[in-house]
Amino acid sequence: MLHRQLRQIAIVGFAMAITWNGSSCLAQLKPIKVTGVVAGISPQGIAIRTEDQLMLALTSPNRTEDGVRYNGIPVPMIEVIGEESPEYLQQGMWVRFPAKVQAKQRVVEPVTEITIIDGTKLTSFGVLPAALPDLPNEDAPAPDPKVAQDSLVIGRIAAARRNAITVAFPDGKTIKAGVAKDAIVKVKTSDLRFVKPGYQVQAEGMLVKPMKFFATVMTIKKPVVLAPGAKPPVDQVANKVPAPKPAIPAKPGTAKPTDAGKPDPFNIGKPDSPDKPAGEPIKVRGKILKIN
């Protein structure tokens, strides 16, 4: 009996020691903010190259490092943002796009905008109203099935071609939609599979080692690639003040202009010379003009 009680006390003490150790280690961690570009992706997280070093952002929900579990650190909130061409669409991607749909079965116009989303966080699928429906009205006529309605399609791509995609829903139904050649494909997800080296990163977290931290918030963006001859965005253009034009050096023996920005077109020079006392006559060269 005594042996059993001692064993229970030892187990409870060991558990309390582990909990206290995790809490004390958590108190030693320091918050950190990191800005850089993606250098690589590993099962542990994302390698970020900053201006002076290489950091590893740990993204696993299991907050453990060197066998020590750090309780209290939240699961990372990750947002991957980008913009792609229609050729980027592939089978298995979860998408959302507005479309004109007839009888919830046929998309009547090519889709011009598609957003790739995180399918694990979805609660609604299928062909949904584009806006919140009004309150039910018994006297309102039933919608004409021949008229296409503004809708929002949410599902998973079952097949993707150059100019069309087939979207499947959890109930087994599918719908086919044409994709415009100049359609915009936006990426807004938390799936790290869409991250590539060179993407811009802004991260926050708790520093656990000099070059390693538990990421709590991460925003990853694909850099904007400008077309040849295109101008950069306004926020990327420095507010530069045009440099003043250099003053034209004066020729030997001639007076300097009064203002470098306003040259003297008549080559008159200053009215008074500091080398001569005031009131002393000076020599003036020029032409006599006839004045009527």
CA R_g for the chain:
36
CATH number of 2-81+192-221, picked from 3.40.50.2300, 2.40.50.320, 2.20.140.10, 2.120.10.80: 2.40.50.320
Structure tokens at 231: 């101008």
Instruction: Give the separation between CA 123 and CA 129, rounded to whole angstroms.
Output: 15
Bridge partners of 40? 47
Structure tokens at 234: 């306004």
What's the pLDDT band for 234 if we cut at 50, 70, 90?
Answer: low
What's the pLDDT band for 122 if we cut at 50, 70, 90?
Answer: confident
Average pLDDT over residues 11-35: 62
- Only one residue has tokens 């020029």, namely 286
pLDDT confidence of residue 161: 87
pLDDT confidence of residue 174: 95
Which pLDDT tens digit goes with each residue over 173-214?
999 999 999 999 999 999 999 999 999 999 999 999 999 999
For residue 258, pLDDT beyond 90: no
pLDDT confidence of residue 16: 44
Number of Cβ atoms within 10 Å of the Cβ of 189: 23
Alpha helix positions (H), the chain: 2-28
Higher pLDDT, 248 or 277: 248
Instruction: Give the separation between CA 161 and CA 41, rounded to whole angstroms.
Output: 29
Instruction: Give the separation between CA 233 and CA 247, rounded to whole angstroms.
Output: 34
What's the pLDDT band for 35 if we cut at 50, 70, 90?
Answer: very high
Bridge partners of 189? 80
Write down the domain spans for the chain: 2-81+192-221, 84-132+145-189
In one-letter notation, the amino acid at residue 131 is A
For residue 86, pLDDT beyond 90: yes
pLDDT confidence of residue 104: 85
Q: Report the candidate in 150, 146, 168 with the shortest Cα–Cα distance to residue 159.
A: 168
pTM value? 0.65
